[in-house]
Structure 1
């Protein structure tokens, strides 16, 4: 292995190949990213694995890969969309139960996937604080229903946080839908049957009003309509009526000719009336003047006298002190990888911004000089009298104001995933463009040590919100 190679690359490659085999799709595209994991068509996003390859990173990547591969293998988007309810709560329940079905079916066929997916579930439960929930009002019902379906279908105990959420709602779910849940084992292997089963569970839980129309009854109505259309096409009465009309037209050609003439005259009259109306419209006086454009947006209402209340807890840390050099190199390489597909668009935008910035520069020249650049406007003078002096020009030295740009990026937890990736890409593009224009740039990030303002806000609240 070369010194610059990432030690995690062999693991990533092996996991990607195993995932393709499990998903039964050799064309599946697998990417490791800091964005939220997910599946979109034939593209799968898995959690990033660092060079350190910690045990938690490896297990989480394997569990996520197994879960998404099973969904890709056992899930049909068409069937899913057909039975999907329109209501928000009903749809959340439907989605959670379908995810549990795919994972449970995979555990039946490939038992090794169950333990891997348990790690993924455990990580999500801790990240979302499910282990801290004390009452059912703090736990999402849809998530609890999905965990219960997986537990009943596999017989495996759930990880700690997931089990806590499930138990908070278990009595309610089994009390309302216990009879329906008895048929769970028979429905796991067939997605359409399970979708009907899930809709019944949703109805039992009291959300039947969010299910919409029954998809199966709609299919029956469409079949009946298709049969009716076929009968109408085969109906001899309609054909006989058409034949009778044709016979009447053939029997009385003079009457038919008169009708055609009347129709032509009526058409001509209609055209003339339309022309007259058009002419009248052109002679009409102008209407009211168009509305004036809206007033410009007023400046910010922020208090110009605002001051930071307390800076005692502020810290300034350089990027190289936050992460090891190897980690910074990895992140830089990842950012370059994200920029690669956008390279053409980024270059066009950067060039446009550069031209816009340079257009603000005012250039001036001194003319009629004895040396410098030959002035094209004085060429005629040089041709007529080559010894004529003062035919040169030189550009004046313009003093530009020194400019420094600071790009401030929100690094709080709400920016995790794709938002921070987009912010980093934009900051990189802006910084490179400004540096082309000889403008110094610094990129800063900010966050708080704790949620909701951190220690400074606590002091402010304790002081009575002055």
Structure 2
């Protein structure tokens, strides 16, 4: 028993030293866990599978060398979501590139990477494996028998693999070539057909515990589909309660309504300018908000990495049990397991009022907080979606004109076009979306606010998400207001609709929080807080979010 423990410790320490040395990361935290099959990366923490046999040891050495090379050559690639098919494919190509560069510098790691590659070929039979093993094969790194499918794939896309080969030593060029190849694959068509969202637990990519990807129904998976994370349509009973007919709410026309990503509303050049303006405008408060974000992150990290289950027969040696082991060599419950909590199984939606009354400091503060919160959660691999809402026009615009042209029928309902903006989608990374937040500073976009429909829209989106825990946060500075709608319906038409939406959402499986800036939102939202001005928004937002997440783990 003691010999087995001694050898286990020896191998683990050797692997740890190797990773830290290659990655030039002496402070990197590394653990071994029997609860995982592949490498898990969490910020500056790495967890590898537990060593259970000599054969397993060789595979884990391959995982460890691959992880070290990723840290050395492209640590930022861990922000890619391994459960969105095209991003997973991109991550596999990046992994292959890092391994190829690493083997050139450390030839002794080649046999370990070979073991990992052969295991990858056994596990997967899809584009991720074709790309990963195909690139190694094309560069003649290993004399192995590839699967027929992989050989056909490499031959079919030979020109693209040649581009990858030529761009191997230029990170940006390689990334561009990789995206060119992935973009021509029929991946998106597969995703559109998806009907079931499940975790792809067999993926050989290093990062796990992310939101699941859409898996096509015709695609085979070894995941147990008896208990899927989410089946499309399973939320119908929830969202049907938000139906406008049930809520006695009418819309004269939806012809001019828009739901649009922020990057489609402005050119990239203009978004860059607005982003720079946001940085300048919020320079005075950004440092304070960054400190609050760091504290918030530290609390979440503490919840993630300080949970150990003791009294196990395998895992990491529990130092408190060593004395007992010396006196009783038959003692076998001397291990502890690192408990992976399910913090990643959380989706947060931030819904921001983009009405004209938010102009100036209020909208700038909300925007920079959305940016910092997205960046913070992204580093923790927690999904966040940032949405905005306003109207297309002042005083009704085309919708109102259409009503006038129809002879102004009585009780028309909503008479303005809505503009719902996607600043950051739930599966998008912060890096992909960070420029979008500056768009909130575009004053001509900030008009009126129809809160009920925006809240309904945000709730329907989050309820369709697969994550177990759902948090919807609304930031607003006033009650719903659209002049032509109120003037031609009852004065409380929009407010009543908002209250009805809120009552129904509060009964659904999500946490709804509202933060009012200079406006009391308690009369609408049960779980809410009002602040006098924008200066307190960061403190309140991070505090509220911490309370809700903490409640999940009590």
Calculate the TM-score normalised by the size of structure 1: 0.40
Higher strand share: 2
Structure of larger gyration radius: 1
Higher helix share: 1
